Structure 1
Amino acid sequence: MRKLPIVVAIPTRNEAENITAAVRSVVDHFEAVVVVDSDSTDDTRALAKAAGAEVVSYTWDGKYPKKKQWCLDHVRPGTDWMLFVDGDERVGPELLAELRRIFDVPPGMTVRPAAFDIPLGYWFAGRRLRHGYTIVKRALLDRTRARFPEPDDLRAPGMGEQEGHYQPLADPVVRLKGTIEHEDLDPVRTWFDRHNRYADWEAWLEHHPEVREQIRKAKTRQGQLFHRAPFKPLVSFGYAYLVKRGFLDGRAGLDYALAMSFYRWQIGLKTREYGWLADRPDAPR
């Protein structure tokens, strides 16, 4: 079967638990699969190579571009299209079939959109969520027509080498139906560890409104609306569990709605902490 004219980039750091499944889900279907690894101390690199991926090293220099934009700039630049898949994700068969239809174009013709938004099939507490809050990633990009923004957030804690919670800029963008399955096999505590760091970044933004506004413009429409919502922990829970019927996912749906509400609460608490400490010389800036 002809391989799709797309390079899959898998950014990693210590993803030994997940990387084999991620690579196997794409290695037979795409032009190239490249694991871009940030000094993993586990077996991520060896497992990725054994599964058939190319492995390249990435070390962040503390500046822009960050990791995904670096991939767009440097990883297999001869191929215009790049699909970003995290180390704990897998590409599902419906998405593969959809991509084959889209990229089955006559010679000399091009794919019209500059990027595609792809929904995540999200797993939490060992169960695939069918309802609740839907996460969509702008994961498939024509690198000649898309670029990640560079907001003035390098001083912010929490994200490091990763781009923040904003989308790459591209136009036009089309949303696909097939999913990328996000099934992290690491313990659930790693979810809370990550979101604790993300909350640091979000709280910093609340005290730097000019940067927050730069980032707001690079969010999805849903993200922009939620950005302005009051009582975010309650709104988050009500939207995911009641409006989007997360209760139909049983205990996992309740756990996820509560976890996301707790994440929003963390952001609010850390934002208020910045205010309490504003006059201290050692306060976060």
Structure 2
Amino acid sequence: MNKIPVTVIVSVKNEALNLPSCLEKLMQFAQIIVVDSGSTDGTQNIALSMGAEVIEFKWNGKFPKKRNWALQNATLHHEWVLFLDADEFVTKAFVEEVAIKIQDPTYNGFTIQFQNYFMGKKLKYGYGFQKSALFRKSKGAYEKVEEDMWSHLDMEVHEHPIIEGKVGVIHAKVVHKDFKDLDHYIAKHNAYSSWEAQRYLQLKQSKNYLLSLNQKIKYNLLNTGLLPIVYFLGAYVLKLGFLDGKEGFYLACYKSHYFFQIQTKVQLLKNK
């Protein structure tokens, strides 16, 4: 069987629990690169044993971060690049749809959608999420954020890809299912909220930055202090998260608390 001419880049650090399930589903793609940030749990050995290329990334605190660095420095054999995290697992339907759609010369990128799991349960309701993680390497890159003095995240988590030309949608979903525990989830989102607070204040000081509609809504609600409660009501009530049982309730609470963290950290930074 001819492999799909896509380079898949999986960004990792200590992902021994998630990586095997991620990589085993990528075998139809022609090139798989794991970009690792000094894992100590055997992540690199797992990647090599499963046939992936491994590249070590050491961040110096400046641009570029891990994904843009890979675009600039890795030997990418194919024009199309798919960025995944280790807890994101492609499906047969997704792979088949990608194989067809990348043949369309009118598109330079595609948005991919996710089927979310939380505490081991598949969620059918609440807010979903998507990102433009499949694009031509000559037509896209992740946005540059001036964060040399305050960021502790070595990978583009909230930065959006900037893609020239037409961007389509892959309708088959990628499974988002983290096998790590709640301690990891809480610690990760604590780090993310610190980044978002700094980024929010940076954007408020910038006069030339264009915000997306979602960013405008989020930041306006941050200004009012209502973002946590509005998110909870939206996810749990309006988007029917209550139908997912206790897991739907817990996720709505955790995400609301995430936005509460951002609000309080913004206030602390303003008072410094």
Q: Does the TM-score normalized on the shorter chain lie above 0.5?
A: yes
Consecutive unaligned residues in structure 2, runs of 5 or more: none
Structure 1 counterpart of 2:9, one-letter code: A
Q: Percent identity?
A: 29
Work out the CA distance in 2 between the residues paired with 1:195 and 1:84: 20
Alignment of 1:96-245 (within 5 A): 96-103=95-102, 105=103, 111-159=105-153, 161-170=154-163, 171-210=165-204, 217=211, 221-229=213-221, 230=224, 231-245=226-240
Relative to structure 2, which stretch is displaced further, 61-70 or 227-236? 227-236
Contact 2:31–2:77, Cα closer than 8 Å, also in 1:
no
Counterpart CA distance in 2 for 1:91 and 1:213 is 39
Distance 1:94 1:212 in 2: 42
Is the CA contact (8 Å cut-off) linking 1:153 and 1:211 kept in structure 2?
A: no
- Deviation, structure 1 residue 141: 1.4
- Structure 1 CA distance, aligned partners of 2:193 and 2:207? 17
Residues 275 and 226 of structure 1: is their aligned pair in 2 closer, same or farther, counting only changes over 3 Å? closer
Q: State the TM-score, normalized to the length of structure 1.
A: 0.88
Which residue number in structure 2 is paired with residue 283 of structure 1? none
Conserved 8 A contact 2:203-2:209: no
Note the residue ranges of structure 1 that are not aligned, 5 or more in a row.
279-285
Look up the SS of the partner of 1:156 in the other structure. coil
Deviation at 1:76, TM superposition (A): 2.9
TM (normalized to structure 2)? 0.92
CA-based RMSD of the aligned residues comes to: 1.9
Aligned residues: 268
Tell me by how many angstroms 1:158 deviates.
Answer: 4.2
Inter-partner Cα distance in structure 2 for 1:227 and 1:252: 27
Q: Deviations over 1:221-272 (max 9, x none)?
A: 4344333234100111111111211111111111111110000001111111
Cα distance in 1 for partners of 2:200, 2:54 equals 37
Report the 3-state secondary structure (helix = DSSP H, G, I; strand = E; otherwise coil) of the residue aligned with 1:83.
strand
Can you list the C-alpha shifts for 1:172-221, whole angstroms capped at 9, x where unaligned?
2112211121111011111110110111111122332356777763x5x4
**Amino acid corresponding to residue 50 of structure 1 in structure 2:** S
SS at match of 1:120: strand
Match of 1:81 in 2: 80
| Structure 2 CA distance for aligned equivalents of residues 223 and 256 of structure 1 | 21
**SS of the residue 2:32 aligns to:** strand
Q: Distance in 2 between matches of 1:272 and 1:82?
A: 39
In 2, the alpha carbon distance for the partners of 1:243 and 1:212 equals: 33
User: Which of 254, 258, 263 is the equivalent residue of 1:263?
Assistant: 258
